[in-house]
Structures are given as C-alpha cells and as structure tokens.
Amino acid sequence: MYRLLMLLIVVNDVSAYIELIGAGGTMPSGVYVSWTAAYQSWRAPFVDVRLSYKARSSGFGKRAIVAGTVNYAGSDSLLSDEDYEKNPDLQMFPAIALLVSRDVD
C-alpha cells in the first residue's frame, strides 16, 4: 500500500506537456503559426502541446534540424546526401505549397 501511494504522488506531480520547436523559412511561417492554435486545441483533451516556429531562413532550419536543436524544420530546398547519411532518421516531405508570382504587364 505504501509503494502505491508513493507512485501516485510522483505521477501526480509531473506536468504532462509536449513541446515541439521548429525553425526555418520565413515564407511558410504564417501558415505554421495559424495551424498552431488549431492543433493545440485539437490535442488539448489528450495532452498539452506547445508549438513554436522560429522563422529565420531555410538554411537556418536545415542547420537546426541537423544539429538536433529543433524538432521540425521548414525549407524550400532538400537536405544534402551527406546530411542524410549522417542523420538517417531525418525525412523530408512537402507540408505546404505556396505560389510566388510576379505581375507581368
């Protein structure tokens, strides 16, 4: 009985949240920020999820994900073969597509 009581006290003191930190390109940052509130609201009944995205540059995001300082990154260019060899768990997939156009008279 004493062991069970101690376990319940320890579990009760733990704050349960997941923090996901991202970084990368500035162009998709508006989309990522707008998705954050919706995703956090959807997950709230299950777990507290805290998301953030540091919009700096695609290169910054790639360097940060390779260095392991962020959980996800946004980039408009692929990782190099060398990065994939050194980090076989990293995978890239398209999250959004944006159109960049120029008015032509």
Distance set, CA 96 to CA 5, 31, 91 (Å): 49, 8, 15
* DSSP state letter for 45: T
Q: Find tokens 């920020």 and name the residue.
A: 33
For residue range 51-70, list pLDDT tens digits in order: 899 999 999 999 999 999 99
Mean pLDDT, the chain, rounded, equals: 82
**What is the pLDDT at residue 5?**
41
Q: Which CATH superfamily is domain 15-86 in?
A: Periplasmic binding protein-like II (3.40.190.10)
pLDDT, tens digit, for every residue of 6-53? 444 444 444 678 899 999 999 888 888 888 888 888 888 888 888 899
**What is the reported pLDDT for 100?**
77
Domain boundaries, the chain: 15-86
Average pLDDT over residues 78-105: 86
* β-pairing verdict for 17-24 and 72-74: parallel
pLDDT at 24: 93
Residues 6+ apart with CB under 8 A from 103: none
The pTM of the whole model exceeds 0.75: no
SS3 content of the chain, % helix, strand, coil (to 5): 40, 20, 40
Instruction: Please report the pLDDT score of residue 15 as a whole number.
Output: 60
